[in-house]
Amino acid sequence: MLKAEVVGQLLLMQSGLINLPDEKSIFSFISRGLTDIPGIERVDYLETSNGQSNDADFEIPLGKNGNNFGMLKFIISDPEEFLIYQPYLLNFIFMVEVVLEERLQRRINQKNQEELEIRVKERTSQLRNEIKERKQIEENLKSSETLFRTVFENASAGVCLVDLDGRFLKVNQRFRELLKYDKNELIGRHFNEITHPDDKEIGKSIIKKIKAGEEDNSIYEKRYLNKNGEVLHALVSLTLLHNEKQKPQFYIVYVQDITRQKQTELKLREQEFQFRNLANAGVALIWKANTEKQCDYFNEPWLNFTGRTLEEETGFKWTENVHPEDLEFCLETFSSAFDQRETFDMQYRLRHISGEYRWIRDLGTPNYNTKGEFVGYIGHCFDITESRQAQENLRRSYEIQKITAQISTSFVEATSKNFDDKISRALAELGSFYQVDRAYLFLYSDDFKTMSNTHEWCNEGITPQMDNIQNTPIDSMPWLKTQLFDLRICQVEDVEKLPEEASVEKVEFQRQNIKSLITVPVSSGQQNYGFIGFDAVRRKYSWNNYEKHNLKIIAKSIGDTLANLHYENLLKEAKEKAEESDKLKSAFLANMSHEIRTPMNGILGFAELLKTGSLSGEAQQEYISIIEQSGMRMLNIINDIIDISKVEAGLVKVDLQNSNINKQLEYLYTFFKPEIEDKGIRFSFKNGLPEKESTIQTDREKLYAILTNLVKNAIKFTNKGFIELGYELINADANENIHEPYLRFYVKDSGIGISKDMQETVFHRFIQGGNSETNLQNGAGLGLSITKAYVEMLGGSIGVESEEGRGSTFYFTLPYKTTPEESGLKEKENTNPEAENKQLNLKVLIAEDDEPSQILVSKAMESISREVIIVGSGIDAVNEYRNNPDIDLILMDMRMPVLNGYNAVIQIREFDQNVIIIAQTAFGLSGDKEKAVAAGCNDYISKPINPGELVSLIQEYF
């Protein structure tokens, strides 16, 4: 039982106590009512304590103002529950004591009143008889004066004689005691001098009526003020006495003290006032019905709740505010309990003054009067709307949590095979649960330019829209795009109230007859995959924050599932690529073994032949030429391996510069023309732009490498016919879906061609254009892979068109970004045109830890040096230069023991900024030259070193 219900029951019992006739019915009523209070098993009434109690008993003595009414003994079943309601029980017991005392005082007052009336009647009768016998009394007065004085003085009521002017002639002892005056203090004083100011007119009015003959005597209530100023409530009997001639002689006045009765009456009125205030001050809506089942009383909280007057509610008019769906149940419950004289507890909806129907809990109890007669019902009502709403919200929250957990859990086991089925089931469950008309999933394209409705559930009678919403441009709905791409939930409670900036979306939603909708982003981490959405077509719908939170959880589960499936696909692709890479690496290793061993065979074999002394000079030169060609072949293989390694490691950077592509093509034509024509092949080139328009922004070195690789590839696989090099401009054309102009370069040949099945893999690593043993050519199969990587770095694409046995056309595209005309290839200008013919006489320091390299470089220096110093480490190079400050040139290897070349250069530059230092390294990686220059070197040359190129580089500085 709720605390509010207990308080309500106690209030009902308090109001019922007043009407009970005697102590027996009171204690019987208490025993029945208090047993319903939680924690109380039984309540017994005892006249005195029997001394037999234990920890489960609780005795409360009943008494007030010295009156003992017995004792209530509570048999406790649950001490903790009893402690909760003990304060309210003690307050109730206090009211029981007040009622018992009131009953006792009422009987006393009633008895006194009856005695007084009897005495007054008797006395009045006696006085009348005395008047009739006045003459006889007067005659006997002298003889009986002593007796009269004795009776007068010893009367139990206050008695006084007052003259016709209202002044006291004689007062008895009891009158003096009531007013606390001494003997003779009142004689001669007017009765109004001791009358309460508010009651003075009462006596005057009564005397006036008696004098007028309207009545012989009068009994009335008035208040006196005693000598101490205290109020005395009195019942006064005033009679006018006449003499034998029937002339008024004086008034005889009898005064009965009724102060205590008046105090009791005032207390009862105050209690009644407090009870009424209590009924109106609480939250309970209280009503009372008569025996005809008609309500004749409603307290102020009820009237304030409904906003109606008492007249508008009485009878059965209160039912006008009961919800139509609850009216039959309400009346049936009320009438059934009424007929059985049983309590009832029912809930129904009652219209509030605001117009809202609120849930009411109505507790009805039969009402009996002091005689135990049934007089109707009393009811206490409480507004439980918030409580019911909380219960409904709790139930709804549980259901939402349940479906959220079920759907989210189902995606844990999602695979690419069952994902579609799980999505369809989830949308159907969510659509049915939220009672919407359409549920769907949209996914974005990889470039986030379009979105497609991939899954849809529709309620019965709702037209599907999925087929109409495929590859929809996201930019076509800009307002919605902003919401979705910010990963925010977008709720539209009323499509008709969409803002002006959502006018496009409004038209589309109206086309689908949507009244309300919500979209929830489907994402995982920072990856946005799309959104799930719900449409309300038949009626408007609003999602609360808790519902949106759970939809977000489900959308997150879908997003995580999509991410997992994506990662699974990536792993699968990676596995396939790894397996393919293993095959390619196996082919590469076999190819490398062949490609490295073949030139090494030429180098080592002909070097061995050179050791014999019987070779002619012509044969020696031929063998040396073969060794040189084999070395260059091996160097090209190593360079290709280094280049592809740099690409895969991300070490290759794009350096955009002004490049004249016409001059680059002319340079390549001039460079390759002798080699191609030596094979008997025709070679031509074609510029696609005039000279003034042929300067573009690109990485000239990578463009040169791309064209060089493609021409070399054509030379390798063409034995007769032609090779053509060229490019053309492709202008922008909206009809052809070309948004910006670009250049299309091509290298066309009449070589062996490429089979269809090989054209897809020709740009893969370690793959050559020929797929058969007869078509294998020299090379590592890395050139086209490097070329493809460079093209994509420059913002283009590459492809091949070929027919086996009839030749191939390799083509690639680059963005056409024009710049002012500038030379595409700038050769380093020789600041001294006579340098090549100039005889140098330098002092040279060679820092090199490899002995063959020491010999090679020192031999190259013989023609331009007067002295050569050789050291094998960086620290020796620093010390040697300190000891020989006249050294003109330092050739510094970058990789040496103890102290590497970079740090050695840094130390030398700390004390000399002028000496020429040229770096030499076999690393061959991107950034080596920049790193060397940053350390302090003037220039850079990579190994293997060509002695002629080295001397030419040195001559540029001297």
What is 11-51 written as a DSSP string? HHHHHHHTT--SHHHHHHHHHHHHTTSTTEEEEEEESS--S
Residues 6+ apart with CB under 8 A from 640: 779, 780, 782, 783, 786
Q: To the nearest whole percent, how much of the chain has pLDDT over 70?
A: 85
The pLDDT score that the predictor gives to residue 828 is: 43
Question: Are 523 and 556 in contact, with CB atoms under 8 Å apart?
Answer: yes
> Sign of dihedral through CA atoms 695, 699, 705, 709?
negative
- For residues 172-180, average pLDDT: 90
Query: Which amino acid would we find at residue 365?
Result: T
Among 98-102, 488-492, 507-511, 611-615, name the one with the lowest average pLDDT: 611-615
pLDDT over threshold 90, residue 928: no
The pLDDT score that the predictor gives to residue 593 is: 64
pLDDT over threshold 60, residue 824: no
Among 429-443, 801-815, 823-837, 892-906, name the one with the lowest average pLDDT: 823-837
**How far is the C-alpha of 264 from the C-alpha of 805, rounded, in Å?**
132
Q: Which two tokens stand for residue 797?
A: 């694409």
Average pLDDT, the chain: 83
Q: Summarize pLDDT for 605-657 with one digit per residue, the tens.
A: 767 777 776 777 787 787 777 777 777 767 766 776 777 677 766 667 888 88
Q: To the nearest whole percent, how much of the chain has pLDDT over 90?
A: 37
Question: Are 20 and 33 in contact, with CB atoms under 8 Å apart?
Answer: no
The pLDDT score that the predictor gives to residue 739 is: 73
Q: pTM for this structure?
A: 0.39
The pLDDT score that the predictor gives to residue 833 is: 43
Q: Summarize pLDDT for 265-307 with one digit per residue, the tens.
A: 888 777 767 666 666 666 789 999 999 999 999 999 999 999 9
The pLDDT score that the predictor gives to residue 838 is: 63
82-86, 610-614, 894-898: range with highest mean pLDDT: 894-898
Is pLDDT larger for residue 69 or for residue 797? 797
pLDDT over threshold 80, residue 66: no
Q: Summarize pLDDT for 839-891 with one digit per residue, the tens.
A: 789 999 999 988 888 888 898 898 899 999 999 999 999 999 999 999 999 99
The pLDDT score that the predictor gives to residue 927 is: 62
pLDDT over threshold 80, residue 894: yes
For 329, counting Cβ atoms within 10 Å of its Cβ (0-12 exposed, 13-18 middle, 19+ buried), the class is middle
**How far is the C-alpha of 812 from the C-alpha of 789, rounded, in Å?**
12
Question: Are 890 and 847 in contact, with CB atoms under 8 Å apart?
Answer: yes
The pLDDT score that the predictor gives to residue 832 is: 46
Is pLDDT larger for residue 178 or for residue 821? 178
For residue 185, what is the DSSP state?
S
> If pLDDT is split at 50, 70 and 90, which confidence band does 7 have?
low
pLDDT over threshold 60, residue 914: yes
Q: Summarize pLDDT for 419-434 with one digit per residue, the tens.
A: 899 999 999 999 999 8
| Conformation bin of residue 159: beta by default, left when phi > 0, alpha when psi is -120 to 50 | beta
Residue among 521, 534, 505 at smallest CA distance from 444 = 521
- For residues 438-455, average pLDDT: 91
The pLDDT score that the predictor gives to residue 310 is: 92
Q: Summarize pLDDT for 680-725 with one digit per residue, the tens.
A: 999 999 999 998 899 999 988 889 889 998 998 899 899 999 999 9
**How far is the C-alpha of 219 from the C-alpha of 196, rounded, in Å?**
17
Is pLDDT larger for residue 824 or for residue 931? 931
Q: Which two tokens stand for residue 214?
A: 């309207």
Residue among 854, 852, 889, 895 at smallest CA distance from 871 = 854
> If pLDDT is split at 50, 70 and 90, which confidence band does 440 have?
very high
